[in-house]
């Protein structure tokens, strides 16, 4: 699963499953930057991350960026790893504008 948020934590894009066109659809959604939800959906997403030092990560812990992309993945999932490779490429192309957050379910 992949979700993209704007800098206010509003959901811009969600994809379940890892289809070959997921990253292209993500690119189009980021260019539009039209929220598909209300409020700070990112905070509830970060609540799934394992706490560090007894504290859940907050949106303020992330680097400042235009978009935050959260990807749920597992090491046994070949499609997930392929998606991560594509996302790393997009991250390099959008240096400073895109933050990737991975949530591993192994």
Take residue 2 and report the two structure tokens written for it: 């992949």
Q: What is the pLDDT of residues 16-50, one digit of tens each?
A: 776 778 888 888 888 877 655 555 667 767 766 76
Which pTM value belongs to this model? 0.73
Q: Is the pLDDT of residue 52 over 60?
A: yes
Residue pair 20/78 in contact (Cβ under 8 Å)? The answer is no
Q: Is the pLDDT of residue 56 over 80?
A: no
E strands along 18-96, which residues? 67-73
Strand-strand pairing, 2-6 and 67-73: antiparallel
CA distance 100 to 68: 6
Q: What percent of the chain has pLDDT over 70?
A: 82
């Amino acid at each position: 699963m992949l979700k993209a948020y704007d800098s206010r934590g509003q959901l811009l894009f969600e994809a379940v499953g890892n289809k070959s066109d997921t990253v292209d659809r993500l690119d189009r959604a980021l260019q539009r930057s039209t929220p598909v939800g209300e409020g700070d959906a990112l905070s509830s997403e970060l609540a799934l991350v394992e706490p560090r030092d007894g504290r859940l990560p907050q949106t303020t812990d992330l680097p400042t960026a235009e978009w935050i992309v959260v990807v749920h993945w597992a090491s046994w999932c070949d499609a997930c790893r392929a998606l991560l490779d594509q996302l790393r490429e997009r991250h390099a192309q959008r240096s400073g504008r895109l933050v990737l957050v991975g949530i591993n379910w192994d």
